[in-house]
Amino acid sequence: MPLVTTKEMFQKAYEGGYAIGAFNVNNMEIVQGITEAAKEENSPLILQVSAGARKYAKHVYLMKLIEAAIEDTDLPIAVHLDHGDTFEICKSCIDGGFTSVMIDGSHLSFEENIELTRRVVDYAHERGVVVEGELGRLAGVEDDVNVSDEDAQYTDPSQVQEFVEKTGVDSLAIAIGTSHGAYKFKPGQTPRLRFDILEEIEKLLPGFPIVLHGASSVIPEFVQMINENGGAMPDAIGIPEDMLRKAAKSAVCKINIDSDLRLAMTGTIRQYFAQNPSHFDPRQYLGPARTAIKGLVQNKIRNVLGSSNIL
């Protein structure tokens, strides 16, 4: 099975009322945990790589790990650039074998976002690569991006048709109240997403795949593991799973998850060292971390995204 684009995946997900998980990868154990889970669930998969991940692990290492995952599992896997913010990084990923790129022009004006996105789409489509654009701005913190709550903006439905027509993008990331990182709502705040905006966009763009970023649930079990083993994340809070289930049944075809993987890995390793303070072989703690990621992803695919057993 060669690497695939997300075109067919999204079409089937849209019609079938489920979403494909897009999981961020940074090292071998993360790639293995995610792909082993998708294999057991018989689910297609998107593995995504951020600029930070490329800096950390190098493009070639991540690409080879993903190729190894395909050889090992024979799953349809798309490899996607997450939050590309320049034409150059998108070009480099397209030239380097990715089958999908995101050009995130959400920090630009509407017109500049269209211009940059169009340029990436032209380059990508000539080479058989698909493109995700973004309209609206999510709050939250990532390696290279830090958007404060004040700078965050819901997607304006009145702009989506023009954006999609003028850019030619294959999917669109929208902002409806999710955010990046482990602190998505303030303590005591009731989690709320603007499903009304999603529904409006769905009507304006019938059949068109929508993407949800910042969609980790910040699983309490792993936050607790961190807090009970020397960590301090008392106010971490994510998107409730029932909201993600609802989104997955709608036009949302891609749901992005990174923070949950980080929390699972870190919680497991913290607990391991608390229980085994004299151990120092990395396989002893990275192995359980990989198993935790596998369990987490399997649960997401089966109970939240709904993409089990569709291959």
CB distance 19 to 254 below 8 Å: yes
Could you give the string, one character per residue 247-286, with x where binding to ligand 13P holds by CB under 6 A and - elsewhere? ---------xxxxx--------------------------
Q: How far apart are the two ends of the chain, measured CA to CA in Å?
A: 13
Which position among 8, 144, 165, 196 is part of the footprint of ligand G3H (CB under 6 A)?
A: 144
For the CB of residue 180, give the shortest distance to Zn ion in the complex, in Å: 6
For the CB of residue 161, give the shortest distance to ligand G3H in the complex, in Å: 26
Q: Check residue 85 for interaction with ligand G3H (CB under 6 A).
A: no
- For residue 225, what are its two tokens? 């593991």
Plot region of 140 (φ>0 → left; ψ -120 to 50 → alpha; else → beta): left
Q: Check residue 53 for interaction with ligand G3H (CB under 6 A).
A: yes
Going by the DSSP 8-state scheme, the letter that residue 300 receives in this structure is: I
Could you give the string, one character per residue 208-237, with x where binding to ligand 13P holds by CB under 6 A and - elsewhere? -----xxxx---------------------
Q: Name the residue type at position 271.
A: Q
Strands (E), 77-205: 77-84, 100-103, 130-135, 139-141, 146-147, 171-174, 179-180
Q: Check residue 254 for interaction with ligand G3H (CB under 6 A).
A: no
Q: Check residue 6 for interaction with ligand 13P (CB under 6 A).
A: no
Catalytic residue, candidates 74, 82, 143, 144? 82
Which position among 142, 170, 202, 260 is part of the footprint of ligand G3H (CB under 6 A)?
A: 142
Nearer to ligand G3H, 180 or 270 (CB): 180
CB distance 258 to 24 below 8 Å: yes
Strands (E), the chain: 20-24, 45-50, 77-84, 100-103, 130-135, 139-141, 146-147, 171-174, 179-180, 210-212, 252-257
Residues that bind ligand 13P (CB under 6 A): 24, 82-83, 180-181, 213-216, 256-260
Residues that bind ligand G3H (CB under 6 A): 24, 50, 52-53, 82-83, 142-144, 180, 258
